[in-house]
Amino acid sequence: MGLPIYDESNERSARQMPATGTPHEQERALVAKNLAGVRRRIGVHSGKGGVGKTFLSANLACALAAAGKRVGLLDADVDCPNVARFFNIRDIALTGTEEGRIHPLEYRGMRIVSTHFLTDDPKLPMIVRGPIKHKVLAELLSQVEWGELDVLITDLPPGTADVPMSSMLIGALDGIIVVTTPQKESLMDARKSALMARDLDVPVLGVVENMAGDAFGSGAGASLAQELGVPLLASIPLMREIRELSEQGQAALVERDELRSLASRIGAAAMGEESIDVRRRSFWQRLMDR
């Protein structure tokens, strides 16, 4: 498979496991220890695929970095990772320590980790069963040198099994942001995401409706938010420019003046703060200074 972080002959994780507790408790303890320097841990999720989870995760990470936060971005879509594409990052392999720990990629003021950077050839499919995906996620949470961060955003794959479930069980999440598009089937699967989180004691911080407008309609986000008793954080329009900017590796929610207030609202919810200021000019200026 060529994924250096998971190798059955490698007993590193087993050796580091605390001696007591169930396997989940042991993993949780390792993750908590590794993420001790991370102030907030936020998941972006929906039961439905293709609704814009990775778009939102990448844009939220950029917006928070633009607001001066120290941001980590974990691509938890283990077998079909897309975060690298949203930043147009190619041909980068992560480096590791002698003990087998992983250094995140430092990119535009963020620390990014994705299996895209850990496979021999990211164009080839990773054909694995759920338990292996769980192992990979556990490694990414417990073996990456995340360091001191204000927030770690986790871009979750769709569904209510495997990685989203593992992330909610061992990822020490402070909350998830649920993404839905306006269509009924998306609403149904986004609701499952929220109910799953609540079943696993992970707070739902709010709902983001994505791709709203003439083509798909609007209102599903507001109705789901009302049903759950959580805020509707944003209704993001379906826009050609959003797709185009995403393809160019740019964060539309930071780049476009009229969308920046949406990023501020979602960012504030992620941070548990009243408001955040997505200062684009100083953000890019800071990056130019690097």
Residue ranges that bind ligand ATP, judged by CB under 6 A: 49-55, 77, 82, 157-158, 210-211, 236, 238-239, 242-243, 246
Q: Specify the residue, 82 or 223, whose C-beta has the smaller distance to Mg ion.
A: 82
Place of tokens 């990629």: 105
Q: Side chain identity at 173, as an amino acid letter?
A: L
With CB cut-offs between 5 and 8 Å by kind, which of ligand ATP, Mg ion, none does residue 243 bind?
ligand ATP
**Which residue stretches of the chain are H helix?**
12-16, 23-34, 53-66, 83-86, 130-142, 162-170, 184-199, 220-228, 240-247, 252-255, 257-271, 280-289
Closest by CA position to 84, among listed 53, 105, 60 = 105
CB of 15 to ligand ATP, least distance (A): 34
The answer to whether residues 10 and 96 touch, using CB atoms and an 8 Å cutoff, is no
The interface with Mg ion within residues 82-141 (CB under 5 A) comprises: 82
Q: Which stretch binds Mg ion (CB under 5 A): 46-54, 110-118, 193-201, 276-284?
A: 46-54
Q: Residue 53, interface with Mg ion (CB under 5 A)?
A: yes
Return the number of other C-beta atoms located less than 10 Å from residue 82's C-beta. Answer: 17
Region label for 100, one of left (φ > 0), alpha (ψ between -120 and 50) or beta (otherwise): left
Closest by CA position to 188, among listed 199, 196, 180 = 180
Q: Residue 54, interface with Mg ion (CB under 5 A)?
A: yes
Q: Specify the residue, 51 or 172, whose C-beta has the smaller distance to ligand ATP.
A: 51
Q: Side chain identity at 185, as an amino acid letter?
A: E
CB of 63 to ligand ATP, least distance (A): 15
CB of 212 to ligand ATP, least distance (A): 8
Site string for Mg ion, 69-88 (x = CB under 5 A): -------------x------
Q: Specify the residue, 28 or 81, whose C-beta has the smaller distance to ligand ATP.
A: 81
CB of 214 to ligand ATP, least distance (A): 12
The answer to whether residues 174 and 30 touch, using CB atoms and an 8 Å cutoff, is no
With CB cut-offs between 5 and 8 Å by kind, which of Mg ion, ligand ATP, none does residue 83 bind?
none
Q: Side chain identity at 128, as an amino acid letter?
A: V
Q: Give the list of residues 6+ apart from residue 284 with CB closer than 8 angstroms, or none.
A: none
Q: Residue 223, interface with Mg ion (CB under 5 A)?
A: no
Q: Specify the residue, 28 or 53, whose C-beta has the smaller distance to Mg ion.
A: 53
Q: Specify the residue, 47 or 175, whose C-beta has the smaller distance to ligand ATP.
A: 47
Q: Residue 57, interface with Mg ion (CB under 5 A)?
A: no
Residues that bind Mg ion (CB under 5 A): 53-54, 82
